[in-house]
Chains A and B, each alone.
Chain A
């Protein structure tokens, strides 16, 4: 297989807070349509890595390139343009509390993409339909369930037509019975060819979704490979320990 330019390439990212090293030289890249899942214990640096990729956290060193273009995080215009192309889903949704579901999806279209109001509305409704929330366009975040909120946030990100999505434990704040609806939206995205990088503790889900699994600990990538290999026959002792300890690792495909 020829190696095309990766959609996203992260090179040697480091981040320290005081004396604590959170990311210790992480490099990875992801090709179009690929789905990579980050696993690892809490504090491994998964969230920090994802947030560093679109500079919500400013890494101390390292580079990020989108389709071969290295991003200069100090060029504010370029940074905003870049962030539009990288969808971000947060653990705790972070919907804008003062806007309806529709308003949450519209705001980026109107303010960032400068669409006219009607166009933005139609587009936002379409995105909300895509995540199964047609009935809830007029509801405010406080009137939605956790699963619905996360689906709105996915619609909000999708409306910007991102080239890659970063999902930071999208279901870890949800009741078990609401996880499924979010997982099914993410799975559908994957089937539609969306490039995604996902941090999760839902190993069963990850096994079915991922093309590659990345095990992180102490700010480093310990091991990466196909899910079945990482989960059932990891080369490294530490990876095997972690995978054997998390329950419900899912059945082998």
Chain B
């Protein structure tokens, strides 16, 4: 009985608070990260040499540094040069920059998989390069990148838990505080694990709806 009271009066309110912070970390990070990833991926394939080099360097660094180190740099490091960020701001920036690097790789692969003939046909009716990429190549590449990008978003849901390391107390952070106070590690972390599982399940479902919605008629026979 005391268990239930403990869960109802202490665990749930704290976890709901944490869940809310997690959600407002994840939603903008996934949208902005994806958008930036599309831009970086496009630059890596179609950009002028200088932009391509910059984008490649960006991806190398942001995939190369562990995310936790990136967060530490944004939150604890930048104040050294006079830039102060809130825990929340530093976390979102870290997530966006990191996930954009991964997204760009899925986008790059998808862009490269579009047959060259699509580009030729677009140019032959007078579309310029930017229009060709925007209206012909990207809509097709986007569909091919979706499973990979979805994977990255699902991964983001879980690595958002790193935010508590820079004192942005989200779901995992609230759990850590609860568990340290009560020593009920199993109970608390099982509940938290289940909440992440729930978020991931919803994201998976939304992504598959989107994939189905975007399926091009005539291609669905390749799906099961």
How distant is the Cα of A143 from the Cα of B131 in the complex, in angstroms?
26
Are A143's CB and B218's CB within 8 A?
Answer: yes
**B interface residue numbers (CB < 8 A to A):** 115, 117-118, 120-129, 131, 135-136, 139-140, 143, 216-219
Q: Given the interface contacts A107-B135, A140-B217, does A51 sit within 8 Å of B118 by beta carbon?
A: no
Are B121's CB and A153's CB within 8 A?
Answer: yes
How distant is the Cα of A123 from the Cα of B120 in the complex, in angstroms?
23
Are B118's CB and A94's CB within 8 A?
Answer: yes
CB of A207 within 8 Å of the partner chain: no
Are A90's CB and B219's CB within 8 A?
Answer: no
Are B124's CB and A88's CB within 8 A?
Answer: yes
Q: Given the interface contacts A80-B127, A111-B135, does A142 sit within 8 Å of B121 by beta carbon?
A: no
Query: Given the complex, which residues of B lie within 8 Å of A84, measured CB to CB?
Result: 125-126
Query: Given the complex, which residues of B lie within 8 Å of A81, measured CB to CB?
Result: 126
Are B140's CB and A97's CB within 8 A?
Answer: yes
Are A108's CB and B126's CB within 8 A?
Answer: yes
CB of A141 within 8 Å of the partner chain: yes
CB of A66 within 8 Å of the partner chain: no
CB of A157 within 8 Å of the partner chain: yes
Q: Given the interface contacts A94-B120, A98-B143, does A142 sit within 8 Å of B125 by beta carbon?
A: no
How distant is the Cα of A205 from the Cα of B122 in the complex, in angstroms?
28
Are A96's CB and B118's CB within 8 A?
Answer: yes
List the B residue with the shortest CB-CB distance to A51. Answer: B120
Query: Given the complex, which residues of B lie within 8 Å of A112, measured CB to CB?
Result: 125-127, 131
How distant is the Cα of A111 from the Cα of B130 in the complex, in angstroms?
11
Query: Given the complex, which residues of B lie within 8 Å of A76, measured CB to CB?
Result: 128-129
Hey, what's the 0/1 contact readout for A135-167 against B, CB within 8 Å counting as 1? 000011111000000000100110010000000
How distant is the Cα of A83 from the Cα of B123 in the complex, in angstroms?
7
**Minimum CB–CB distance for A138 against chain B, Å:** 9
